[in-house]
């Protein structure tokens, strides 16, 4: 594992630093209660509670809140693997697919185990200088281990040229 990846993971595992990251970069996730429960270079587990800010009129967690937690489980892995890369790598969600199986009436935990595949895709993008995409899977389960939903988030990675201007 690259030292920069390990440093990013350490920050995401620190409760105060992670909440500050959410507050400044993803305020809707902060206020919704989305949290990273565990992360390493291969796997990330996030959670979203069922509460007033995440509910829908049908007494379950709103689909967009579930999508936010699922996307975070894949996105934090991607961010860890592109952290302080040379050349820098841009990332973008290009597609989102979801299947819902059960009503989310409590905390839902999303697990993405595609860290190695994400890293390999980033390495391909750097080596080729062209964009490469991955379809990462995140499975949401309740506290009893029952599958609530599965999400497939397609990420595109591209190495930025050294002459490109950063925004």
**Partner residues linked to 98 by β-bridges:** 151
**Partner residues linked to 158 by β-bridges:** 90
Q: Which residue has the higher pLDDT, 126 or 164?
A: 126
pLDDT in tens, 123-157: 999 999 899 999 999 999 999 999 999 999 999 99
Instruction: For residue 90, give every residue at least 6 positions away whose Cβ sits within 8 Å of its Cβ, in sequence order, or none.
Output: 157, 158, 159, 160
CA distance 32 to 30: 6
Fold held by 3-159: Thiol Ester Dehydrase; Chain A (3.10.129)
User: 27-31 contacts: CB < 8 A, separation 24 or more?
Assistant: 28/68, 29/68, 29/69, 29/72
Of 12-16, 87-91, 112-116, least confident by mean pLDDT is 12-16
Please tell me the predicted confidence (pLDDT) of residue 161.
Answer: 79
Please tell me the predicted confidence (pLDDT) of residue 163.
Answer: 54
What order of strands is seen across the sheet that includes strand 44-48? 35-39, 44-48, 108-112, 132-141, 147-159, 89-100
CA distance 3 to 41: 11
Q: Quick one: residue 7, left, alpha or beta (phi over 0 = left, psi -120 to 50 = alpha)?
A: alpha
pLDDT in tens, 6-25: 999 998 888 888 899 899 98
Q: Quick one: residue 30, left, alpha or beta (phi over 0 = left, psi -120 to 50 = alpha)?
A: alpha
For the cut 70, the answer to whether the pLDDT of residue 165 exceeds it is no
**Boundaries of every domain in the chain:** 3-159
DSSP secondary structure, 12-73, as one string: HHSHHHHHHHHHHH-HHHHHHT-EEEEE-SS-EEEEE--SGGGB-TTSSB-HHHHHHHHHHH
């Amino acid at each position: 594992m690259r030292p920069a990846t390990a440093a990013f993971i350490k920050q995401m595992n620190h409760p105060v630093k992670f909440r500050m990251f959410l507050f400044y970069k993803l305020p809707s996730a902060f206020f919704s209660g989305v949290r990273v429960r565990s992360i390493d270079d291969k796997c990330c587990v996030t959670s979203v509670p069922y509460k007033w800010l995440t509910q829908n009129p049908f007494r379950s967690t709103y689909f967009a809140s579930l999508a936010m937690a699922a996307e975070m489980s894949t996105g934090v892995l991607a961010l860890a693997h592109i952290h302080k890369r040379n050349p820098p790598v841009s990332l973008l969600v290009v597609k989102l697919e979801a299947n819902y199986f059960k009503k989310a009436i409590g905390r839902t935990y999303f697990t993405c185990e595609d860290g190695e595949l994400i890293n390999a895709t980033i390495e391909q993008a750097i080596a080729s200088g062209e964009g490469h995409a991955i379809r990462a899977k995140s499975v949401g389960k309740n506290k009893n281990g029952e599958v609530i939903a599965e999400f497939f988030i397609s990420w595109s990675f591209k190495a930025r040229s050294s002459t490109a201007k950063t925004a």
